């Protein structure tokens, strides 16, 4: 009996091709959560606009932001927070032995993101 269900195809196809397809299938499993992520991510734009309609939009003495302009804040936050996390936050956690590997950081980030939708 074959160990993997794709091993049955080795009679008809080249053994290397079957092994390559098996490797590809193992990688494709990682992409299963992507539609869920993008569905939630696409909601953030409308959610920010909806939340901004309930705010006064005043930014100190600079002026007032309209609700549809609130989405512009996201790229600015990314530009500001990436260096902050890279230079300050992640090294601080690494000194404590936390969030050392990228997969650990991604897991915590995913959990925090999921929690933000509740």
Determine the Cα–Cα distance for residues 47 and 49; give it in Å rounded to an integer: 5
Beta carbons of 116 and 51 less than 8 angstroms apart: no
Please report the pLDDT score of residue 82 as a whole number. Answer: 95
Strand partners, 59: 63
Determine the Cα–Cα distance for residues 3 and 9; give it in Å rounded to an integer: 12
- The confidence band for 49, taking pLDDT boundaries of 50, 70 and 90, is confident
pLDDT of 2 higher than 80: no
What is the helix (H) or strand (E) element at residue 63, kind and residue range? strand 63-64
Q: What mean pLDDT is predicted for residues 30-46?
A: 85
Average pLDDT, whole number, for the chain?
A: 89
pLDDT of 1 higher than 70: no
């Amino acid at each position: 009996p074959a160990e993997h269900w794709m091993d049955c195809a080795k009679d008809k196809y080249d053994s290397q091709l079957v092994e390559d397809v098996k490797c590809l299938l193992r990688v494709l499993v990682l992409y299963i959560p992507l539609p869920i992520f993008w569905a939630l991510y696409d909601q953030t734009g409308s959610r920010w606009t909806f939340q901004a309609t309930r705010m006064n939009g005043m930014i100190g003495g600079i002026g007032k932001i309209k609700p549809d302009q609130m989405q512009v804040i996201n790229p600015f936050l990314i530009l500001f927070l990436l260096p902050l996390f890279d230079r300050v936050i992640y090294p601080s956690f690494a000194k404590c032995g936390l969030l050392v590997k990228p997969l650990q950081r991604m897991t915590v980030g995913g959990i925090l993101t999921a929690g933000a939708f509740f």
